[in-house]
């Protein structure tokens, strides 16, 4: 059976925020750029999820093997929402889903997100991925927002050289959700108050130090919208 393929979403907080709000994220929340991992005080707290876009290189492929091995015996919380990526180039959409659906109660999420969550909560990760493949509303929204941003829309049959993953806090565990891996990845301890700082430290130690010459990383956070003065 041929793997379905979608055009990728741009790593653009404005595009991803609009995309998420049209699917049910309340307007009080946003996906915002993290311009520097050393200036985290500029990001509104609390942070509900961190989304990392990284270049696919041989060094990061080595890390993938290490992560899967170290997480194989970890018992992940039942409250963790995790799904496999069964659609080529859909990692941006999967990243947003992992960020929002792991905070569905805290954020008061409605609309498509809530409907899909209720439809798939009892499914295994693989079945969740295949259910997404056939969701007509998501297919339309993804197609619409893949045309937005500053770069030309990519042919869905081409494979992108970048990949989105999401970090969330569950039961004070820092967990990376990456639909291409066999399981989620246990990354250490954290808390709802320190998720941004702990995820940033993990990214520095495991990604940036492993590939220090590569500048093609980007970071975003799911936070509330700051109140105007």
The distance between the two most distant Cα atoms of the chain, rounded to a whole number of Å, is 55
Grouping H, G, I as helix, E, B as strand and the rest as coil, residue 32 is: strand
Gap between the terminal Cα atoms of the chain: 55
Could you give the residue numbers annotated as active site? 91, 163
Q: In angstroms, rounded to a whole number, what is the distance separating the alpha carbons of residues 138 and 135?
A: 5
| pLDDT at residue number 149 | 59
Rounded mean pLDDT of 11-30? 95
Is the overall model pTM greater than 0.85, yes or no? yes
Rounded mean pLDDT of 81-100? 95
Pick the CATH number of 13-224 from 3.40.50.300, 3.40.50.800, 3.40.532.10, 1.20.120.1630: 3.40.532.10
- Whether 173 and 190 have beta carbons less than 8 Å apart is answered as yes
Domain ranges in the chain are 13-224
């Amino acid at each position: 059976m041929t793997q379905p393929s979608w055009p990728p979403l741009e790593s653009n907080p404005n595009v991803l925020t609009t995309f998420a709000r049209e699917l049910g994220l309340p307007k009080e929340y946003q996906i915002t750029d993290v311009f520097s991992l050393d200036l985290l005080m500029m990001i509104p707290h609390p942070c509900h999820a961190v989304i990392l876009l990284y270049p696919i290189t041989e060094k990061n492929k080595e890390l993938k093997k290490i992560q899967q091995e170290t997480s194989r015996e970890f018992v992940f919380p039942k409250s963790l929402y995790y799904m496999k990526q069964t659609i080529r180039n859909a990692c941006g959409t999967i990243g947003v889903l992992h960020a929002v659906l792991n905070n569905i109660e805290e954020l008061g999420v409605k609309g498509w997100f809530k409907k899909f969550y209720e439809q798939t909560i009892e499914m295994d990760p693989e079945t969740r991925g295949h259910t997404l493949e056939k969701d007509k509303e998501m297919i339309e929204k993804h197609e619409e927002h893949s045309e937005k941003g500053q770069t030309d829309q990519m042919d869905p049959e081409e494979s992108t050289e970048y990949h989105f993953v999401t970090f969330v806090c569950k039961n004070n565990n820092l967990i990376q959700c990456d639909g291409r891996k066999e399981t989620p990845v246990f990354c250490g301890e954290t808390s709802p108050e320190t998720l941004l700082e702990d995820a940033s430290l993990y990214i520095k130690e495991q990604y940036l130090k492993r590939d220090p010459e590569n500048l093609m990383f980007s970071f975003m956070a799911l936070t509330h919208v700051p109140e105007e003065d």
